[in-house]
Amino acid sequence: TAKITYIDDTEKKTLGSDKQDGKFDHEIAFGNKPSDVISGFEKAGYKLVSNNFKDGTKYKADDKQNEFIVHLTHNKQNVSRQDQVIETIDYKFEDGKTAQPTVTQTKHFSEDGVKDLVTQKITWDEAKPQKFDDVATPAISGYTPDKDNVAGSTVKFGDKDVEVTVTYHNNA
pLDDT at res. 112: 97
pLDDT in tens, 54-103: 988 999 988 889 999 999 999 999 999 999 999 999 999 999 999 999 99
Please list the ranges in the chain whose pLDDT falls under 50: none
Tell which residue, 54, 58, 53, has the closest CA to residue 68: 53
pLDDT the model gives residue 29: 92
pLDDT at 64: 86
Query: CATH topology for 2-74?
Result: Ubiquitin-like (UB roll) (3.10.20)
Class of CATH domain 77-170: mainly beta
Which part of the chain has CATH 2.60.40.4300? 77-170
pLDDT at 52: 94
Structure pTM?
Answer: 0.74
pLDDT at 172: 75
pLDDT at position 62:
85
Q: What is the pLDDT of residue 63?
A: 82
Which residue ranges does the chain devote to CATH 3.10.20.470?
2-74
